[in-house]
Amino acid sequence: MYDMYRELILDHAKNPRNHGLLDPADIDFEGHNPLCGDRLHLTLRVDENNRITEVGWDGEGCAISQASASLLGEEVIGKTLDEVKSINKEQIFEMLGIPLSMNRIKCALLSLKVLKVGAYGLAEWQQQEADEEEE
Amino acid sequence: MTDLTLTYDLEAVRADFPILSEKHHDDVPLIYLDNAASSQKPLKVIEAIDTYYRTYNANVHRGVHKLSEQATKAYEDARIKIRRFINAGSKREIIFTRGTTEGINLVAQTWGRVNLGVGDVVLSTVMEHHSNIVPWQILAAEKGFTIKYIPILEDGTLDMGAYAALLRDNSVKLVVVVHVSNVLGTVNPVAEMIQQAHAAGALALVDGAQSIPHMPVDVKALDVDFFAFSGHKMIGPTGIGILYGKREHLEAMPPWMGGGDMIETVRLEGSTWNELPYKFEAGTPIIAGAIGLGYAVDYLSELGMDKIHAHEQTITAYALERLSEVPGLKLYGPDAAQKGAVAAFSFEGIHPHDLAQILDSGGIAVRAGHHCAMPLHTHLGIPATTRASFYLYNTTQEVDALIEGLYKSKKTFAL
């Protein structure tokens, strides 16, 4: 049962990496998970090649949503915005490495949603969701 | 009378519906011919609702506990089953409502409120159910647009020439039409009508309450903008229905009812809306109803909508033939080839209410009245009709019993 709270998740949730907002930032976006009230505010700095140099974020929510933000932040530093575009839901699930029940998927994906909407706009995220939806 | 060729095991189907083996009165079996009002439910649907309440009753989309997970999954699985059943492009286009009426009101109060105003026209038809007239009248009184009605020809079909002429007026923004009339049984050429509406720059809303229980419906092939229907007429529970809408329209529409589950964030100075379809599903939804409807759709799909449709056409053709032989009986609507499983008629010398009462004493349940289509009855020049409507479990023997009942009524009234 406590797979969901394995060491990695608890470590990232308790000691979030890249915590704290960047000011100024090149990308700045805040999103919410309406079901449980998780909140994530993400800021990014990119260099002249659109490569992400710094990540800073702030938010509150469950261990899953916070750990996901922390893990994703680490993952994207050094990648270009183009490269980040290809990160999908499956990769987030893999990163977390835990089984997620239906109602927790939204918690896990808040970080990805905020990143994608912030970097590419809502339409892009909706398109990605539509592409990934089997139904 | 030899039974007509059936396309599935009718006795097995009848055995799936517990109510059909109940006695209607003390020693009279039930002959249920009021399916256009509401259909009976198979055991599978009844048990699905029972199982939800007994074993995993919980709210959806909220809890992280196992029961809520299970309820959420069952509720969302139902949405997926319905998406497949009508061939919608995405489950996000499937909105749970209380029924057809609520679906139409939702479109009126969201899409209509934003897009209709002075100088605009909503095109409806004379054969609409009140649920596809009154919501538009309420909105028209506030917004100042006009409602025009496509007339009906002598044979009970829509005047397509008049429709084309009405569309030539560039102010038509929306065409609202019933797929199958609940009185005349007319199957309207909605695919053609939708195409013409689109060519004229209008959207189309189809009331599918009387079509989807009885025939295959493909919303993509129809290219329909909005399609509303009810669960209880398609062997599902009451209190649950579906509004299908094209995603592009639903995304652009404001929400209707506000509350829980339909928000993304709420602040005291304002709120933002949840994504589709939840934007339109405020409050705790009809969970058991949705799950039950999912099982109803399973049942219909397993049996095959083509077969159900073929069976009903056989029954309806037989009923129309037998009814037309009864002296003093006048049938309304087109002939069997263009008709759903409905036979509405008047009977010389006996008011429909009296007729329905006498038939009921013989175990036969039919409907009498204006069937929520007063403008149509005004057009026909009669206050009411008697309506027998058929479904997947009805038999030709039941039609025979109806005919006998009619002769018995004649005798009672000494006609």
**pLDDT, mean over chain B:** 94
pLDDT over 60 (residue B5): no
pLDDT of residue A17: 95
Give the pair of three-digit tokens for residue B217: 């419906």
pLDDT of residue B26: 81
Beta carbons of A34 and B265 less than 8 Å apart? yes
**B 228-267 residues with CB < 8 A to A:** 261, 263-265
Euclidean distance between CA atoms B385 and A96, whole angstroms: 65
Return the active site residues of B.
372
For every residue of A36-58, DSSP letters joined together read TTEEEEEEEEE-TTSBEEEEEEE
pLDDT of residue B148: 97
Mean pLDDT within B39-67: 94
Mean pLDDT within A89-105: 88
Chain B residues within 8 A of A102 when measuring between CB atoms: 69, 72-73, 76
Mutation target vs A (from B60, B66, B265; most A CBs, 10 A cutoff): B265
Of B68, B272, B274, which is closest to A103 when you measure between CB atoms?
B68
Mean pLDDT within B245-254: 96
Give the pair of three-digit tokens for residue B267: 């602040």
B220 interfaces chain A, CB cutoff of 8 Å: no
B49-63, B261-275, B289-303: range with lowest mean pLDDT: B261-275
Mean pLDDT within B277-287: 93
Give the pair of three-digit tokens for residue A107: 């918690």
Q: By residue range, what is the domain housing residue A20?
A: 2-134
Percent of chain B clearing pLDDT 90 (strictly above): 84
Q: What is the pLDDT confidence band of residue A92, given thresholds at 50, 70 and 90? A: very high
pLDDT of residue B6: 52
Q: What percent of the residues of chain B are helix, what percent strand, and what percent coil, each to the nearest 5?
A: 45, 20, 35
pLDDT over 70 (residue A108): yes
Euclidean distance between CA atoms A8 and A96, whole angstroms: 8
Q: How many CB atoms lie within 10 A of CB B177?
A: 25
Q: What is the pLDDT confidence band of residue B274, given thresholds at 50, 70 and 90? A: confident
Beta strands in B193-291 (DSSP E): 203-207, 226-230, 241-245, 263-267, 270-273
Residues of A at the B interface, defined by Cβ within 8 angstroms: 32, 34-35, 101-104, 130, 133, 135
pLDDT of residue B1: 39
B170-188 residue pLDDT tens? 899 999 999 999 999 999 9
Residues in contact with B144: Cβ distance below 8 Å, sequence separation at least 6, in sequence order: B117, B118
How many folded domains does chain A comprise? 1
Residue with the bigger pLDDT between B64 and A86: it is A86
Q: In the A/B pair of chains, how many CB contacts fall below 8 A?
A: 32
Q: How many CB atoms lie within 10 A of CB B119?
A: 10
Residue with the bigger pLDDT between A33 and B126: it is B126
pLDDT of residue B3: 43
Chain B residues within 8 A of A133 when measuring between CB atoms: 90-91
Rg (CA), chain A: 14
B62 interfaces chain A, CB cutoff of 8 Å: yes
Please, what are the domains in chain B? 10-32+304-412 (3.90.1150.10), 47-302 (3.40.640.10)
Provide the whole-model pTM. Answer: 0.90
pLDDT of residue B294: 98
First to last CA, chain A: 29
Give the pairing type, strands B263-267 and B121-125. Answer: unpaired
pLDDT of residue A98: 86
Closest-CA residue in chain B for A37? B265
Closest-CA residue in chain A for B65? A103
Of A34, A102, A133, which is closest to B73 when you measure between CB atoms?
A102
Chain A residues within 8 A of B64 when measuring between CB atoms: 101, 103-104
Q: What is the pLDDT confidence band of residue A47, given thresholds at 50, 70 and 90? A: very high
Percent of chain B clearing pLDDT 70 (strictly above): 99
Q: Are B336 and B319 in contact (CB under 8 A)?
A: no
Beta carbons of A35 and B62 less than 8 Å apart? yes
B83 interfaces chain A, CB cutoff of 8 Å: yes
CATH of the domain at A12: 3.90.1010.10
Whether the link from the prior residue into A34 is cis, omega within 30° of 0, is no
Mean pLDDT within A28-32: 91
Q: What is the pLDDT confidence band of residue B2, given thresholds at 50, 70 and 90? A: very low
Q: What is the pLDDT confidence band of residue A22, given thresholds at 50, 70 and 90? A: very high
Mutation target vs A (from B59, B64, B267, B272; most A CBs, 10 A cutoff): B64
Give the pairing type, strands B367-369 and A38-46. Answer: unpaired
Of B73, B83, B263, which is closest to A135 when you measure between CB atoms?
B83
Beta carbons of B69 and A102 less than 8 Å apart? yes
Q: Are B54 and B297 in contact (CB under 8 A)?
A: no
pLDDT of residue B383: 87
Beta carbons of A135 and B274 less than 8 Å apart? no
pLDDT of residue A133: 64
Give the pairing type, strands A38-46 and A52-60. Answer: antiparallel
